[in-house]
């Protein structure tokens, strides 16, 4: 019985639900900082930052290079 006299069921989750998921970079850096020291976590976070920057630059260049090449008549 619950505190108000109503029988409670086991359908209620005991675990808290996370409304918003953490970004991948933050989640991975939190995971590695849990196992290792803060210096390793910093380096790993910095490596992920550079990796994401590189992917972002490649993504942008994949649009920019064909457009500029087309303007100069290069195919």
Are 28 and 48 in contact by the 8 Å Cβ rule? The answer is yes
Tell me the per-residue pLDDT of 6-22, one tens digit each, with 9 for 90 and over.
Answer: 555 555 555 555 444 55
Q: Is the pLDDT of residue 63 over 70?
A: yes
Output the pLDDT for position 52: 81
**The pTM of the whole model exceeds 0.85:** no
Compare 1 and 62 and report the one with higher pLDDT: 62
- In sequence order, what DSSP letters do the residues of 17-36 get, joined into one string? PPSSPPPHHHHHHHHHHHHS
Tell me the per-residue pLDDT of 25-56, one tens digit each, with 9 for 90 and over.
Answer: 566 555 554 555 667 777 777 888 888 888 77
CA-to-CA distance for 57 and 5, rounded, in angstroms?
Answer: 61
Are 41 and 29 in contact by the 8 Å Cβ rule? The answer is yes
């Amino acid at each position: 019985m619950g505190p108000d006299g109503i029988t409670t069921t086991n359908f209620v989750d005991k675990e808290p639900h996370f409304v918003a998921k953490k970004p991948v970079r933050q989640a991975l850096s939190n995971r590695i900082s849990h196992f290792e020291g803060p210096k390793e976590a910093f380096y790993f976070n910095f490596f992920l930052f550079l990796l994401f920057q590189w992917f972002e630059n490649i993504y942008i260049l994949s649009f920019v290079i064909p457009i500029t090449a087309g303007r100069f008549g290069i195919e």
